[in-house]
Structure 1
Amino acid sequence: MAEHTVIATRDDYLEAVEAIAAGTGPVAVDAERASGFKYSQRAYLIQVFRRDAGTFLFDPPAVGRFEELNAAIADEEWVLHAATQDLTCLREVGLDPKRIFDTELAARLLGMPRVGLGTVVEELLGIHLAKEHSAADWSTRPLPEPWLLYAALDVELLPDLRDAIDALLVEAGKSEIAREEFEDELARDLKPSRSEPWRRLSGIHAVKGLRNLAVARELWLTRDQLARELDTAPGRLVPDASLTAAAKAMPETKRGLASLREFNGRASRTEIDRWWAAIEAGRTTKDLPVVRGNSDSLPPPRAWADRNPEADARLKAARAAVTELSEQVSIPIENLLTPETLRRVAWNPPAEITAETVGAGLAEYGARAWQIEATSQIIAQAFVEAHQNPAESDESAS
């Protein structure tokens, strides 16, 4: 195929599969979506590069399913940058790797201060990689040639970047850590279900009163349904700030809603009947939401000192210890152990605090083996010291 020809037919696709299967080494894969433009997170371009095969740019809506390609490279290592951003849309079309190398995650584990693809490529390969089209509307057809060049470069450099990073992982003794993290990415549920997704509405915490919350919920659900039908990003219809403004103002009439200056957006007036129906539904529903969603979420750490002083002392002591370890091993603290995991084990510690029991608690909350090995002992020690010297723990964390 020509260097930047987009593959959009089944025949060309099957020919490309044969070429990729005949290549050598790992397979570099990337995907481009239309986030911020479309409702769905589907892939609108999939890029594949393999040594001795070349670069291939696929049009997923035109090609359809990719089972043949998946079968051809199923046993190979796939190289991606920030794999969690692409795995869901790749799986939607039948591309599901068994083994990956995530150059972005590996860069984090190496302690690199900036891990964007352009930055890492420039630092490790000495090549400047422009990123000006990363936020483009990739559903555009035909795709402009500069976009295709950008997309091709994204994968063509990945195998060399993978080799450079792998050498650094070996040198730092972090190869096994990286392997565990890559396996965790593959096993992770990247599309967790939410029982009340409307609570993600920006500014929802400023909406007071159950009836106002009901209106905000109905507006969000109405916008989400329309966005899904039109395959348009919800915020492009009416922004979050407009929905929360309407929920707080509670206009008495449709005209009052239309005259609300904060209620704007390209569909704010053309769909005014729809929005007004949502407000009326929220005004009259008997199914009022609770102030906070039903979840097992913990109180914010700032409230711990009053609500659970012992847990507050444990958290502060353990957080200081884990932060120090993070600096020593040059791994960001959120990769060494997620703040949520540390908070949960601090809030609900084992009855008998040892490295083993703390490790079991960390495992229960999803920590990997290497994370447990690295942190369980220092967390257990911090917990014990917090119990013995609560005042000192509080002072050291302040």
Structure 2
Amino acid sequence: MTAPDPVALSADLIRCASVTPEEAGALDVIRAPLEAAGFRCTRIDRGGVSNLYARWGSEAPVFGFNGHVDVVPVGDEAAWTRPPFSGEIADGVLWGRGAQDMKTGVAAFVAAACRFVTETPPKGSVALLITGDEEGPAEDGTVAILDWMAANGERVDACLVGEPTCPETMGEMMKIGRRGSINAWITARGRQGHVAYPHKANNPLPALVHLLDRLSRHELDQGTAHFQPSTLAVTSIDVGNPASNVIPSEGRAALNIRFNDAHTGAGLDAWLRSVAAEVAAFSGVELEVKTRISGESFITEPGALSDAVSAAVKSELGIAPDLSTSGGTSDARFMRAMCPVVEFGLVGDAMHQVDERTPVEQVETLCAIYARALGEWFRKA
């Protein structure tokens, strides 16, 4: 069989309006060429989300790819130069939502995997974990696939996530880890009153502002061997008080911490609650803290997997990618519980934007890099 063309496959995927959690036929688009190449495909549906697990081969070792076909909303469709789900190719550029994040990455590794197992079948297996819930809550996507794998005795020994990783130039960066992320919502409750008689009220806002100032000024760390310093950003302060002569009874705030491997989510949760308790004790204002940890920090030490990807990039582009832990979270945070994981993909300068697009040449190069990475990894496995 002839392996699918990664650009044509990317365009077909973009034409599926798979705004998370809608699948919109995207999994069928990639299932057909995979089955034609001998992959056994299993659709895994959970919580209104559709996912696909595909495997070629039955023996170890197993090399895995992970990616998502869901996309963020298009925003103001009238602001787009070309329709966001057109998959149009013009002047060597592929247009549409998902052209960078990350239908092209999925198409590239599907095409590369089909080409690799057809032309140079390895002594081992290749598995693809493709989700429809990366841009959403991420509770029933890659996590659901991993749960299914555990129940069915499936595993991978190394995983390459196809997220866009390059800031400006193709090949310049590979992600070997990610910072953790914790969101916090703080509610300050006092006693409402007239601004002319503040002694009869208990204004919660000074306590809330003081707490946010303490948290913001605190140096979490100075960075670690593989990570930049952790950061805390206040993202919202909301009082909802339209009256200038009323001391409100309540104020709310939200913040996010992106943390490195000097911390854990539980440790930061405890720190937030401890500081809030101190402020509450001297202010007499109730300070309620709620948190959600969306991912712990992790690092894949340089080794066989990163070496295979680096060698592939250097063969195709003549450069060795920097090994980075920058950026936000991705589904690599789930894969790392099973195996070593790295991320490598396109330049991400237009992802989530109006007129998302990517040069066709980059998609073709990415497919070639993935195919070479497979060969490099199996050669040393």
TM-score bucket of the superposed structures, by smaller chain: under 0.3
TM-score (norm 1): 0.26
Larger radius of gyration: 1
Q: Which structure has the higher relative contact order (CA within 8 Å, separation 6+)?
A: 2
Report which of the two has the higher share of helix.
Answer: 1
